Amino acid sequence: MTGTKTFMAKPGEVEQKWWLVDATDKVVGRLASDIATILMGKHRATYTPHVDTGDYVIVINAEKVVFSGNKWSDKRYTWYTGHTGLRSETAAKRLQRHPDRILREAVRRMLPKNNLARKMLGKLKIYAGTEHQHQAQQPELVELAIK
């Protein structure tokens, strides 16, 4: 019995597009979920789990994202410095210091935990302001996190 074969993409076979996302007044988790879907390539019919079939994503206005509830004061980011002790800071403090890291961490945690995810995260470009240096790639504006 012969049937249709399942399509499996090969590395370098899928043409990758560039998308531009404006993060102004978008909820962090919902926006990160949509961005992670595009980076993994799950928005395409040619999605293959073991091949990077995702697209590039440029995010502008990352300092204008919002959290729901009291997360600006309650949510804490912690990291280990390699020396004695654990560092931590609130989401509001992180927004002042590194506004791009809030969204980058949210997206990173929604990707698979493997080497391919690190390659996918390299295709995410986040900028605090409205300016970016990828005009030559002619990114298409896409509206995400509309829920």
* Tens-digit pLDDT profile for residues 17-66: 999 999 999 999 999 999 999 999 999 999 999 999 999 999 999 999 99
* Tens-digit pLDDT profile for residues 103-124: 999 999 999 999 999 999 999 9
* Tens-digit pLDDT profile for residues 61-98: 999 999 999 999 999 999 999 998 899 999 999 999 99
Strand pairing report for 124-126 and 86-90: unpaired
**Rounded CA gap, 71 and 94, in Å?**
12
Using CB atoms within 10 A of its CB, is residue 90 exposed (0-12), middle (13-18) or buried (19+)?
middle
pTM comes to 0.92
- Closest listed residue to residue 11, CA positions, set 44, 46, 61, 62: 46
* DSSP letter, residue 135: G
| Residue 57 · residue 38 · CB < 8 Å | yes
